[in-house]
Structure 1
Amino acid sequence: MGNKVAIFTEEQLEDYQDCTFFTRKEILRIHKRFREIGGPGVVPQTMTPHEASNLRLPLSCLEKIHELKENPFRERISEVFTQCRDPGHSADEGICFEEFLEMMSVFSDQAPRDLKVHYAFKIYDFDNDGVLGLNDLEQTCTQLVRGGLSSEEIDMICEKVIEESDIDSDGALSFLEFEHVVTRAADFLSTFHLRI
């Protein structure tokens, strides 16, 4: 009886369904997971619908999600999804349920490839300038190899990626160039997901 879960209004649940790829039941299950990763004492036992949708968990709580715990882009994913919903909040303030729900929706199996490509591009665009330049690619590669390659090897790989994928020869990958590369990667959809 003491474990009363926050109840969203019908309007909130309908809005969440309209804005995600989830059913009402899945949204409630995701909220339960959000509460669980917050841990005891972080998420109150009872909340108003407003409190339930605006409570912010520390980003360190995302490490409790198995797929993110080992993901080299965990911090960058957190930054991207906390920037998207509310520009008035910084990633330092944590992640609210609506941002968490959006992240889970994008990483769900139901999300279309185009949406996943859009967010992958945002995650790899470390300097947020709208293109993947050499520095973005070097940061991406460095995170992927986790010290397994020398800086010279990383430079060589990134220069080769630009050489082969930069159709307009401007020294960076636009979203369309990135999308063209990703559509040729057969395993992209199977690796860009989280379980609910």
Structure 2
Amino acid sequence: MGNKQTVFDKDEMDAYEELTFFSRSDILKVYERFKTLAKEKTVDQNIRLDEEEICRLPELKVNPFKDRICKIFSSSNDGSMSFEDFLDMMSVFSDNAPRSLKAEYVFQDLCKDLVEIIQRITTVESSSDKLSDEEMQQLIDNIFEEADLDDDDHLSFQEFEHVLSKAPDFTRSFRFHL
């Protein structure tokens, strides 16, 4: 039958399969994508791809939150990723992951600074147009009026999930395909 060399030993593969929303074949596809991003680098267990390399993924190239997504999943918090970091990111934003998990990751980091988020969403990358302070405040007031269901001037995770349920386009921008 030949000596087929495997990338991961059985224990590693079992752990990856248990800790992600992927099958064994999906894990190998994610590994191939990681290797493709690495280009000339020798891919081994210790390699880290920097944020710029990770952002070559088509799903991230156009995402206004790509830098923050990389930092969320980076075990070193600098945006660089090991294969395991990359696998976690791909798993959370895969079609197999529950919508609530995606929302939790987005809520944890991206909702810390509502003004920055709104600026990223409303500003075209090739343009320097930004909302005026008055327009920004009006937009924030409108968001809170719609989202803050208990009128406590804070956006809870449940309220955030409720808003996302009304905005399917937002969660589609946090989806990765194999």
TM-score of the alignment, normalized to the shorter chain, above 0.5: yes
Q: TM-score when scaled to structure 2? A: 0.86
Aligned residue identity for 1:26: D
* Partner in structure 2 of residue 17 of structure 1: 17
> 136, 140, 144: which one pairs with 2:121?
144
Q: Report the alpha carbon displacement of residue 34 of structure 1 after superposing the two structures with TM.
A: 0.5
* Partner in structure 2 of residue 131 of structure 1: none
Q: Secondary structure at the match of 2:55?
A: helix
CA deviation profile, 1:43-78 (whole Å, cap 9, x unmatched): 34xx4xxxx2x4211111012101211211000101
Q: TM-score when scaled to structure 1? A: 0.78
Give structure 1 stretches of 5+ with no counterpart: 127-135
Partners of 1:77 and 1:59 in 2: how far apart? 10
**Is 2:147 the partner of 1:165?**
yes
Q: Report the alpha carbon displacement of residue 174 of structure 1 after superposing the two structures with TM.
A: 1.1
Give structure 2 stretches of 5+ with no counterpart: 124-128
Name whichever of 25-34 and 182-191 sits farther off. 182-191
**Is 2:61 the partner of 1:69?**
yes
**Is 2:90 the partner of 1:90?**
no
> 30, 47, 51: which one pairs with 1:59?
51
Identity of aligned residues (%): 38
Misfit runs of 4+, over 6 Å: none
Query: RMSD of aligned C-alpha atoms?
Result: 2.1
Q: Report the alpha carbon displacement of residue 26 of structure 1 after superposing the two structures with TM.
A: 1.1
Does structure 2 conserve the Cα–Cα contact (< 8 Å) formed by 1:62 and 1:69? no
* Partner in structure 2 of residue 124 of structure 1: 110
